């Protein structure tokens, strides 16, 4: 299994509940977790900030439960086979496929010019996956198209050069997979929408409580999940994700409860889950030497597998070895 995360800074609880907690729970020696800094430079960025954020997101991932002894966390640019395989796959992928990618259309909309890197992003992502013979890729629904493209590219490569690359399948996490913004409840939680609607893992407990108490609800008074109550539904989903309780059990528990009291309990539950993660992050951030050492070991483990894949790919396409 392979999963990746962008070093965009300030991760939020949707990242943790939607993916990272599952990564920690299911990690095994054959699992690889990648901080995709090559992908990060497809958009304008500050180099020093990129370096800082790369290390910081590593601290958060370790704080959320990734264990260097159980799985490999590494930085994409430190395993050069990613870029090499991406070039080979560029010669298999087609322009039409990349033009159809929804994410490219969204990110390029309204821009006078976009980088070739942004257009080619899905091919690098395919290389990320195929290097490690990942059989499953846990993703949100918005990334399913990318995994399907990866399968198509791998299948075309295998048809042209012989069976070499493993065809991956997308898997979808359940509880907490899609936490919505607290203010714009029809949109997935994201820092790009503003921090008022996103519970950042680095927020203080007071900040977290304030955001939840100010979360959008409705003019009613009944705590239940329903299409016409998206704000309350989102808070119930959040509560279910952090407690493990079912929506029905939560509706029964909060029957007759005022919205303010309901929000206060949600805030308390969220803070209870995030507190140990935040504390562990602070410990790791105070000893970055150890973090760099763990990342280097992760890159060594990843490189062993990636190098083997590239040896086979080079031979298949006719490169001198």
Phi, psi of 154, rounded to the nearest 5 degrees: -65, -40
Q: In CATH, what number does 191-282 get?
A: 1.10.240.10
Question: Tokens for 253?
Answer: 């528990």
Q: In CATH, what number does 2-176+288-317 get?
A: 3.40.50.620
Hey, which bits of 244-300 come out as E strands? none
b/e 142-153 (16+ beta carbons within 10 angstroms → b): ebebbbebbbbb
Phi, psi of 91, rounded to the nearest 5 degrees: -85, 0
Phi, psi of 129, rounded to the nearest 5 degrees: -75, -45
User: What is the four-CA torsion angle of 3, 94, 99, 5, rounded to 10 degrees?
Assistant: 10
Bridge partners (DSSP) of residue 136 are: 169
pLDDT of residue 175: 47
pLDDT of residue 103: 76
pLDDT values of the chain reduced to their tens digit, one per residue, 321 residues = 888 999 987 899 999 998 899 889 989 998 999 999 999 999 889 999 999 999 999 999 999 999 999 999 999 999 999 999 999 999 999 999 998 888 777 777 767 778 899 899 999 999 999 999 988 887 777 788 899 999 999 999 999 999 999 999 988 766 455 789 999 999 989 888 888 999 999 999 999 999 999 999 988 999 999 999 999 999 999 999 999 999 999 999 999 999 999 999 999 999 999 999 999 999 999 999 999 999 999 999 999 999 999 999 999 999 998
Q: CA 313 to CA 305: how far, in whole Å?
A: 13
C-alpha 79 chain-centroid distance: 19
pTM of full prediction above 0.85: yes
Asked whether 146 and 107 are in contact (CB, 8 A), the reply is no
C-alpha 84 chain-centroid distance: 23
- Strand pairing category for 72-75 and 136-138: unpaired
The residue behind tokens 């991760």 is 11
Q: CA 4 to CA 150: how far, in whole Å?
A: 15
| H helical segments located in 42-143 | 47-63, 81-90, 95-99, 102-108, 116-130
> E strand or H helix at 2, and its extent?
strand 2-5
Asked whether 86 and 124 are in contact (CB, 8 A), the reply is yes
Give catalytic residue positions: 107, 188, 191
Asked whether 37 and 50 are in contact (CB, 8 A), the reply is yes
C-alpha 186 chain-centroid distance: 20
Polymer length of the chain: 321
SS3 88: helix
Domain ranges across the chain: 2-176+288-317, 191-282
């Amino acid at each position: 299994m392979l999963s990746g995360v962008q070093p965009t800074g300030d991760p939020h609880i949707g990242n943790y509940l939607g993916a990272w907690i599952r990564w920690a729970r299911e990690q095994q020696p054959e699992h690889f977790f990648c901080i995709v800094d090559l992908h990060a430079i497809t958009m304008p960025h500050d180099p020093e900030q990129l370096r800082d954020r790369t290390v910081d997101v590593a601290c958060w991932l370790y704080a959320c439960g990734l264990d260097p002894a159980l799985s490999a966390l590494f930085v994409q640019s430190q395993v050069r086979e990613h870029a090499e395989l991406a070039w080979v796959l560029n010669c298999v992928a087609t322009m039409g496929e990349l033009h159809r990618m929804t994410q490219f259309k969204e990110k390029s909309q309204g821009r006078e010019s976009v980088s070739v890197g942004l257009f080619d992003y899905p091919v690098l992502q395919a290389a990320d996956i195929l290097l490690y013979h990942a059989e499953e890729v846990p993703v949100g629904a918005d990334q399913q198209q990318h995994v399907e493209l990866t399968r198509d590219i791998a299948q075309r490569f295998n048809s042209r050069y012989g069976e070499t690359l493993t065809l991956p399948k997308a898997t979808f996490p359940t509880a907490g997979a899609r936490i919505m913004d607290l203010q714009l409840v029809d949109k997935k939680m994201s820092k790009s929408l503003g921090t008022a609607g996103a519970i950042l893992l680095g927020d203080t407990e007071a900040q977290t409580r304030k955001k939840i108490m100010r979360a959008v609800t409705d003019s009613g008074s009944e705590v239940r999940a329903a299409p016409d109550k998206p704000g309350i539904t989102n808070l119930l989903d959040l509560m279910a994700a952090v407690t493990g309780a079912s929506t029905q059990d939560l509706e029964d528990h909060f029957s007759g409860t005022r919205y303010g009291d309901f929000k206060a309990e949600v805030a308390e539950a969220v803070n209870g889950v995030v507190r140990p993660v935040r504390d562990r992050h602070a410990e790791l951030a105070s000893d970055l030497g150890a973090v760099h050492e763990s990342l280097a070991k992760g890159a060594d483990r990843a490189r062993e597998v990636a190098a083997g894949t590239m040896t086979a790919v080079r031979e298949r396409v006719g490169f001198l070895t």
